[in-house]
Amino acid sequence: MGRKLVKYFNLLHIALVYVAEALLVVMVAVIFVNVVMRYVFNSGIVWSSEIALLTAVWFSFIAMALGVKLRLHIHINLLSESHIPAALDRLLWKIRDVVVVAVGVSMFWWGSILVKFTMRSILPATGMPAGVLYIVVPVAAVIIVYDGLTHLFDIETDDSVVDDVLNGTLTFRSVLSGHLPSRGDGTNNQEQGGHHA
């Protein structure tokens, strides 16, 4: 994959982390305020349930997509990695990556159909099209397919850049401008081979 594509997806990964953080804050704040208003002031926020649902759905799918990049999803090892040949271990990881890509493609296909279908419905409290709730599904699917393919084909994705921005040692602006520090060996921070996710 081209370096520009990798750069754009790294920026997207960083942005999605910030979006997920904001969604979590909004969800907790809306639920907290609504509970206080309901039990203290005997009233409530009419649209709170829909906004809480929207933020929960969006947060869940964004987190799921980002989990693919870092291989954070739960998996079960039926065979101990120390008791199988390295080639077989690698093959099993490649099969896993193929399954991840297939799930991402399926999510994109059916998610797009779901969004198109539900855009004709309106959420009663907020008046928003119901499809807004599900737009995140094809968006997350694109991230899942991209990360699945980078794992499958061992593509260098400059994960250290994403890590540096998120831990504050590199600015988002420097990534946008392309002024990045030298990485030395240019290795990828992704685990390869005997992953423990």
Task: State the pLDDT at residue 104.
Answer: 97
For the ranges 25-29, 60-64, 66-70, 176-180, the lowest mean pLDDT is seen at: 176-180
Task: State the pLDDT at residue 180.
Answer: 65
For residue 41, the 8-state DSSP code is S
Dist. CA 174–CA 53, nearest whole Å: 35
Dist. CA 194–CA 197, nearest whole Å: 10
Share of the chain above pLDDT 90, in %: 53
pTM over 0.85: no
Residue 122 main-chain phi, psi, to 5 deg: -120, 135
What average pLDDT score do residues 186-192 get?
42
What average pLDDT score do residues 164-170 get?
80
In one-letter notation, the amino acid at residue 168 is G
Task: State the pLDDT at residue 145.
Answer: 97
* Contact predicate 162/14, CB 8 Å: yes
Q: Sign (positive/negative) of CA torsion 21, 155, 74, 164?
A: negative
| Residues in a beta bridge with 129 | 122
Alpha helices by DSSP H, 41-157: 48-69, 86-118, 136-152
**pLDDT tens for residues 9-50?**
988 999 999 999 999 999 999 999 999 988 888 888 889 999
Check residue 176 and give left, alpha or beta (phi > 0: left; psi -120 to 50: alpha).
alpha
Dist. CA 15–CA 10, nearest whole Å: 9
